Chain A
Amino acid sequence: MHACGSDNLYDMYLNVIYILWVRQLKRYARSRARIVSSVMQPLLFLVALGFGFGPIYAKAGGGDYIQFLAPGIITMSILFTSMFSGMEVVWDKQFGFLKETLVAPVPRFAIMLGRTLGGATVAVLQGVVVFLITLLIGFHPGGIISILTAFVFMFLIAILFTAFGTAIASRIDDMQAFPLVMNFLIMPLFFLSGALFPLDRLPAALAFVVRLNPLSYGVDAVRSALVGLGHFGLPLDLIVLLGSTAIIMAVGSYLFEKIEA
């Protein structure tokens, strides 16, 4: 942290991104309720679906359903946390803290980037917590390399959907409306992604929709990395995730730039 005024703008922006990132981590670490409650939902899905559908899945010849489901649930927890981190933007907008950042002599893009990286890091941490829980429940991922590969993809998914949540939050002023809009988007993203079911032999219409959903590629990547059950292949997953992240970041920065406090 050695930026000094205007003589090194690049350093200054890095510091701004860094402090925004730190802020989000501090807020997360200080809110125990948030940590606990955001683990409950994935846990419920894991136990109810994993053990509930497990026997049928095994009988149909699919093998161990927990092995299949766990990467989907880890991705789900990242999706939820990422998208809802936009809530902090709405919150900051309502209570003025956003204004503090908007009147600062910093480009909005740096603010958007710092927020997105902070929210994404929190989402990945959340994903790691859920990952550890899946291990307790009986999930057996591959070795350390596959786990590290999965983390890289988890971070990409987190950035994509944090940017998405932030972009939407830029346009919403109403705190009650935001969760409704979010659920309206999150549910189809999640259920039509292959997080819960294999993508082979789907009806054509469903297969088409799943292919349009960027989360499908995220789930697929995490699953291929952790247990080797890929559908699209890692290169395609990577290209789709990077591409959609670039598009969403561009749109998000534009919308964030347009916020009038």
Chain B
Amino acid sequence: MAPVYLRRWWSGLSQQTVNLSPPGFEGSNPSRRTNTKPAPQRALWYNSPMPIISVKNLTKKFNGLVAVDDISFEVKKGEIFAFLGPNGAGKTTTIKMLTTLLDPTEGAISLNGSDVIKDPRNTRKSFGIVFQDPSLDTELTAYENMEFHAVLYGMSSSMYTSRIKELLELVELTDRKDDLVKNFSGGMKRRLEIARGLLHHPKVLFLDEPTLGLDPQTRNHIWGYIKNLNEKEGITVFFTTHYMEEADRSAHRVAIIDHGKIIKEGTPESFKKETGTKTLEEAFLALTGGTIRAEEASSLDKGRLHARMWKR
């Protein structure tokens, strides 16, 4: 299990960053931009026909309001899959249903061979998730957060001590492992959450806006880890983002959801070709229109404000 290559790769990446060479993940994966001759490993995972997530006629209604409206799609094993859409389009609701946090009104979901609705407990072992909002206990240290997660997932201490060490090294938090998380920056928290999401060897990693509010340096690093894990360990990645250039650069396949329906699915290139645009962002705007979406402030938004006022 020891991903020695990850560490080696990561130390290589940090060096690159220090040397101010072009952004790390571009360098580690030069074929991405053109997509004409994909790297061998990428082709292997990408061409694998087996779906690891399959969603059929999924619908979620909240008191008559249809948040997700009869969507169906598949994510192949080893794929990096971007799930895009404007605010309030149904992205987070879909992720919550895929990760057993919300029961669908109708439809079926299978994840790594488990029925998500009928067998949530087995499903939960197969995926890791990084939520849109930090979900760390800020009163605990980085190591304690990791340990907590390991115990929740039924790992024995002999299993998790070495795994935690590896992952903390991977995300470069080893020297801060005994610091309380409340003293961490946003980027450090995100890195820790990614490490935590990988702790129990999940087959699928869900990332709900993993780079929201982070500076470009941190965003580059985070995409560096994610793409490397995908290539070397074959982890399937399902992510949402509002940064279209991230989806453009990293995703093998993209689905766009709007008003609860999937309006388009394909590779970033096919999107651009079809809409006659140069970037995924332009394609996205062409497909979803330019109007700003009304979204009511959720209790979570109020909570965020409150948290800032009462920072403990």
Contact = CB atoms under 8 A, between A and B. Distances in A.
A23 B148 contact: yes
A96 interface: yes
Given A105-B121, A105-B124, A105-B125, A99 B135 contact: yes
Given A94-B299, A95-B135, A23 B140 contact: yes
B100 interface: yes
A95 B152 contact: no
A99 B156 contact: no
Interface residues of A, number: 36
Contacts of A31: 139, 312
B131 interface: yes
Interface string A16-42: 101100010011001100000000000
Given A26-B139, A26-B144, A94 B307 contact: yes
B149 interface: yes
Nearest to A260: B102
Given A1-B151, A27-B139, A173 B299 contact: yes
A15 B148 CA distance: 10
B125 A96 contact: no
Nearest to B306: A175
B228 interface: no
B151 A23 contact: no
A104 B157 contact: no
A61 interface: no
B99 A96 contact: no
Given A104-B124, A175-B303, A97 B152 contact: no
A202 to B, nearest CB: 42
Contacts of A103: 99-101, 124, 129
Contacts of B306: 94, 175-176
A97 B144 CA distance: 13
Given A95-B307, A99-B131, A100-B135, A16 B152 contact: yes
B154 interface: yes
Contacts of B125: 105
Contacts of A101: 152
Contacts of B121: 105-107
A174 interface: yes
A4 B135 contact: no
Given A94-B306, A95-B134, A173-B299, A4 B159 contact: yes
Interface in A1-20: 1-6, 12, 15-16, 18-19
Closest 3 CB pairs of A and B: A96-B135, A94-B303, A104-B152
